[in-house]
Copies of this chain bind each other. A is one copy, B any other.
Amino acid sequence: MKLKFGIVGGGGGFIGNVHRHGALMDDLAVLTAGCFSRNADTNHKYAKRWGVADSNRIYADYEEMAAVESAREDGIDFVSITTPNDTHYPIVKSFLQHGIHVMCDKPLALTAEQGRELAALAKEKDLLCGVSYTYTGYAMVRQAREMIDAGEIGKITCIQGEYPQEWLAVSLVSERSEQAVWRQDPKRSGASGCCADIGTHIECLIAKMTGLHPRRVIARFDRIPENIPLETNAQMLVEFEGNIPGMIWASQIAIGHETELNIRIFGEKGSVEWSHLRPWELRVTRINQPPQIYTTNRDYLAPSARELCRLPSGHIEGFYEAFGNLYHSFCMNLIAKKTGADPGTFQYPTVEDGVRGIEFVDACLASNAQNNIWIKVGQ
């Protein structure tokens, strides 16, 4: 079966189209409806471009879309929400309330309270609600988890995560300023800048790679350059479950780095390290042995990692394909819900992951505000 889905947003920025490609990639869904922009012309332009032929299913606002689609017998099965951050909460809520499954761009909401409300709503309504933490869709991230779960690196001893970017610093001297504006607007981005925007990617990746969540944090936020409203550099000491020490660094002013997301997990018997600089690799070291470079789609991988590979090893799958893996899992789970089919092993990030991300940011904000003391993460 093929699922029907709609998109809210997408007629601006690049991420809407990434969601669309992700949902279409493995032929599990068909784009059937949308509210692509508040601007009517843009809305219809994208509807045409993306092949939404039925003009009754091109909506001027998301509430109408949620209401009408939920009332149709052939209404959409799920919706992808790709609007600016501050609008996620009301839109997700609206679709959930109308009984439509949701895949929402990160972040789920601007406050943990909102997030928990959405999680409860999804649970109450028995609906799938995913949050698109892109990098968790890479095959080698999954391979890391399989190896850790199998005990290959032993008890985890230390976790180092970082995500240096330069784009915000660069945008001040180049043409790419539009995104910089809204990313730095607390009304649209929330109270945290880079910690919320990219720090949460680190937190979620570590959780997916290890199964471990932060228990408490010390965070220092800096606004660089000085006249900027939200932090652009965030440095954290993080204590994970089991008293495991960790460090997280997120920066948008790290000149010389584009999306250099690096996660290193150390254990008593070995380590696994993943870098977005070469996401098809996993560096694996067993104690007192030479480091090994695992790559995608090889015989020696865990089946659940290999399932995330579409191309022969060495043929690069990137950002779109990682997104495709999130949607693949989301769709398979939705189909499974409807038909009882096997949803597969890999799991897309859920509304609970989304809540955890916000709780992590909230704890960091509190630590930063209180002279960098330890703050408990979550309730």
Q: Complex Cα distance A348/B253, Å?
A: 32
| A residues 291-317 in Cβ contact with B at 8 Å | 291-295, 298-300, 310-317
Complex: chain B residue closest to A165, CB-CB: B314
- Smallest CB–CB gap between A26 and chain B, Å? 9
A371-B374 contact given A173-B288, A254-B158, A318-B321, CB 8 Å threshold = yes
Indicate which residue in B255, B290, B312, B372 contacts A293 across the interface (CB closer than 8 Å): B290
- CB of A259 within 8 Å of the partner chain: yes
- CB of A258 within 8 Å of the partner chain: yes
Contact between chains at B14 and A27 (CB < 8 Å): no
- CB of A95 within 8 Å of the partner chain: no
Q: Complex Cα distance A14/B317, Å?
A: 13
Contact between chains at B158 and A233 (CB < 8 Å): yes
Contact between chains at A233 and B319 (CB < 8 Å): no
- CB of A249 within 8 Å of the partner chain: yes
Q: Complex Cα distance A266/B166, Å?
A: 10
- CB of A121 within 8 Å of the partner chain: no
Contact between chains at B294 and A290 (CB < 8 Å): yes
Q: Which of A170, A271, A316 has the most CB of B within 10 A?
A: A316
Which chain B residues lie closer than 8 Å to A278 at the CB level? 277-278
Contact between chains at B290 and A298 (CB < 8 Å): yes
Of the 9-residue stretches A68-76, A125-133, A220-228, which lies at the interface with chain B?
A: A220-228
A295-B27 contact given A318-B317, A318-B318, CB 8 Å threshold = no
Indicate which residue in B51, B225, B259, B295 contacts A30 across the interface (CB closer than 8 Å): B51
- CB of A379 within 8 Å of the partner chain: no
A: interface residue count bin: 35 or more
Indicate which residue in B51, B258, B266, B299 contacts A27 across the interface (CB closer than 8 Å): B51
Which chain B residues lie closer than 8 Å to A27 at the CB level? 49-51
A271-B258 contact given A169-B287, A279-B316, A317-B318, CB 8 Å threshold = no
Which chain B residues lie closer than 8 Å to A170 at the CB level? 287-288
Q: Complex Cα distance A284/B224, Å?
A: 20
- Smallest CB–CB gap between A85 and chain B, Å? 17
Closest 10 CB pairs of A and B: A258-B314, A316-B318, A256-B285, A259-B314, A318-B318, A290-B292, A256-B271, A255-B271, A315-B319, A157-B224
Residues of A within 8 A of B (CB): 14, 17-18, 21, 24-25, 27, 30, 49-51, 153, 157-158, 160, 162, 165-167, 169-170, 173-176, 218, 220, 222, 224-225, 233, 235, 237, 245-247, 249, 251, 253-260, 264, 266-271, 273, 276-279, 283-295, 298-300, 310-321, 371-374
